[in-house]
Structures are given as structure tokens and as C-alpha cells.
Amino acid sequence: HGVDDIDRAKIPVQSSASSLPTDIGAADFTIEFWLRGFQNENRGRAVVCGDNEDWIYGSIVLDRDRFSSGRKFGLSIDGAGRVVFGVTNQERAARTVCGTGNVLDGQWHHVAVQRSRADGRLSIFVDGRQDGTDAGLTGDISYPDGVDVTFQGPTYCQGPAGAWGGYCRNEPYIVLGAEKHDAGAAEGNPAAYPSFNGWLDELRLSTTLRYTGSFTVPRAPFVTDSATAGLYHFDEGPAGPCTGTLRNSAAGASTSSDGACFYGGSGSAGPEFSSQSPFAGSIVLPTSTATAIAPTATVAPPTATATSTLAPPTLTATATAIPATATSTATPAPPTATRTNTPIPPTATSTPTNTPVPPTATSMPTATATSLPPTATPSPAANYALAFDGVDDVVIARPVTHGGVLTVEFWVRPASSSMEAIIVNQADDNNGWSVELNDGRPSFWVATTRGWEVVRHSTRLA
């Protein structure tokens, strides 16, 4: 809906003291995410790319604009379904580059845009292939340090009912799923700068050029590394209105760079957490183990299946592997990928778990005229565990019928702290259960009539 500062998500790039890691633009950067939408549900215009700022006329997915100033950028989807990426430098010279393919076909697409600081070149990649590139503008386009939001802006820039005292307070933010200043919508013309309507998931901000040519798209949620400035899985959940925090899962990130949802809007309010996921049904990534029980049948682990992630409701109202869990929109939208349940691959970790140990045959006393003492049962020579590589290792077993009563237990040793991984589950998008590590904390997800619900331990496993 993109009006009154609702139906969107915001990620801060500045604190009161200095820039946050999410303030990309001073060096090379890559912005990437998964996106899904329909052409007939988005109102972006057919954008003419070149020396202009016309990216703002597409359905806005990501907006790091500055009002009447330089050093800004943004990304939208135009009326033809093309990815559009634009940059304005310090001198307010602008360049917009367009992709060629239609990403509003109802399918999930991996989208990455890059900007080189040295020569200003802009690049667009869709599903692992370069979809557009153009010479750009050099210079620093990060948000300037020490710039207070103290200038008077137009009415639409002053917050709901002018509550911000005339100031454009959305300046030091990346806004997902809406034009950050509510331009157009507050003046009765939301189609002027329309919001994205669809799903968004797995947003990663990087301080490097991650791609130089064709690449294999990720088939699981991103894992943080030293070049990750912001990583938003949108997995907070549960399914339904997104009204709270969107955690930055980048290594070493503080809570000051966490995002937040601003839910609302008439009609289809948003953003919402959705069970839609770019990974659901694509690969199976949990690790499950059987535990040896008495000298009888061994309990087999449940089948491992991908969990769904939340996508922010229409990024017009705009948030992947766990149940339940990318922003604001000017038009009603399907649940946007604000945060959704995304299947979380077991990270490359040696995850020891107890493997079933077959019962050892014990010699029983023979019933003869002379009783012989029972023979001692030999002890197993060794106890092994399963190690998983966090990429494609998996154990699949028969489903367990438990009638609503279930205990799942095992030994696990994560290879790293703050891990996101499915350990064992028996689930599809809307049913079942899953035992996971979420930010290193043991979490038990269960599908209920209210959607996916979770209980988490406070301890992070290292």
C-alpha cells in the first residue's frame, strides 16, 4: 500500500553514532534475494533505462533513496517484469540499468545486483545468469555519516498525519516493498511509485562483487561470511502479520542493524510471514539419526523434508528454512516474503549422533541335566556417530506415527556457533514437526491450527 509508513519493512543503515554494516555503497557491493510475483498484480511502468532515475517507476522492491540528495540507489520490477537497478552519485548524476527477462511469472527467481566502486559498473543477474549490465558512475554512494534528518520535506515525507514534525525520518533506512517516503500514495496516486506485490526471501547485502559470470544459484539459505554485511532470512514467524523484528544474521551483527516490519493497510494488509519458500520441495537437507533401544526394534528417524520460509507479504506490502518465517506495498499482495520458513540446510558440521547399535546375541544357559552359567555378553568395540557435510548429506527413514505424542532425542555437536540447520524433521509446508538449530539455539517447530509454532532453548550450542 505504501502509505502512512506501513505495509513495508525497514533496515537501518545509520545509528546515532555512525554507519552500520548495512550502509553499503562505499565499496563494491552485491544485493541478492529470492523473489516471486505475478505480472498482473504489479503496477510498475515500462521503464526506459539510461541516464535517469527511472527505476523509481517500477514496482519498488528495495529503496535506499535520499530525498533531494545524491548517494542513493534502489531496485524495482518494471511493467514488463524486468529487474531494474538504479544509482545516483554524490553529484546527482544518475544511471539505471534494466534486465531482459520476466521475473513476474509466478515462479521463484534468484536476483542479484552489483555495483563496482572503481568504475561504477552496474550488473544484474537472474537465476545465475547475467541479465543486464551497463557502465555506471564512480564514487561513494553510501549514506553520508553525520547527516541528521533535520530538513523539512514535502507533506508525504513527514510521516502519518505529519507526526514527524515535517522531517523525512525514513532517510537512513533501506525500505523493502514500498517507496520509502510514501511519494505518490499519500497524494492519492499510489501507482506513481508503486509498491512490489509478491514474496521476498533470503536478503543478503555483501561488501564484495560475488559474481563475475554464470553461477549455480543457492539451493538453501545463505550462510554468513566475512563479506556479509546484512543477512535476513525472514524466519521469525509464525505465519501471519509481521509486526516485530527481522534479525540480521550476519556474523558479528548487533541488534542495531536488525530490521523491523510495519504492518497495516486496507484490503490485504502486510507485510506477512508466509509458508512460501524458494527451497520447499527442492532438496532434502535435514539430518536424522536412529537411536538404539534395548535389544529390540530401533526407532527410525522421521523423513527429512524441506521446511518453508516466510516471504514478506507483498513487497508492495512487503521477508527462509523453518516453518513460519521478505515489505510494504501500494497494492494488495500475496503474502510477501517478510520472513518465512525456509528450509535450513544442516550446516557443514560434523554432527555426531548416536547410531543404532544392534543388540548383541547373548548366550542363554542351556537346559540340560547340568545347569551351565550364562555366558557374558561382549561389549561393543566402538560407538560411532554420523558426520554430515552441510551440503547434500541426508538420512531418510520411514515416517513415524506418533498420535500427537512425541519425544525426539539425540546427541549433536555443531561445527560452529550460531548455526541455522535442520537436524531432524517430518514435515511439509503445512504439517508436521521439525527439530532445528536457529542461530545455534535448539528449536522445536510444530504445525498447529494456528500455523507453525516454536519453542526455543535460550542456550546457543557451540
DSSP 321-344: -STT---B-SS--SPP-SS-----
3-state secondary structure of 411: coil
Residue pair 456/324 in contact (Cβ under 8 Å)? The answer is: no
Cα 10 to Cα 56: distance, rounded to the nearest angstrom: 17
Q: How is the chain split among helix, strand and coil, in percent rounded to 5?
A: 5, 30, 70
The pLDDT value given to residue 433: 86
Residue 200 main-chain phi, psi, to 5 deg: -135, 135
The pLDDT value given to residue 67: 75
**List of E strands, 44-178:** 59-64, 72-77, 83-88, 94-98, 109-115, 122-126, 129-134, 173-176
Residue 10 main-chain phi, psi, to 5 deg: -130, 140
Cα 17 to Cα 40: distance, rounded to the nearest angstrom: 44
The pLDDT value given to residue 164: 64
- Mean pLDDT in each 10-residue stretch from start to end of the chain (462 residues)? 78 85 96 97 92 94 86 96 96 95 97 96 98 93 77 62 67 88 62 88 98 95 96 93 94 91 82 90 37 38 39 38 38 40 40 43 44 51 79 81 85 84 83 84 79 74 80
The pLDDT value given to residue 447: 80
What DSSP line would sit under 158-213, residue for residue?
Answer: S-GGGTTTTB-TTTTEEEESS-TT-TTGGGT-TTSSPBP-EEEEEEEEESS---SS
* Cα atoms found within 13 Å of the Cα of residue 168, Cβ hemisphere only: 21
Cα 68 to Cα 432: distance, rounded to the nearest angstrom: 51
The pLDDT value given to residue 307: 39
Strands 259-262 and 109-115: unpaired
3-state secondary structure of 438: strand
The pLDDT value given to residue 416: 82
Element (H, E) at 101: none
Domains of the chain: 8-273 (2.60.120.200)
Q: What is the DSSP letter of 40?
A: G
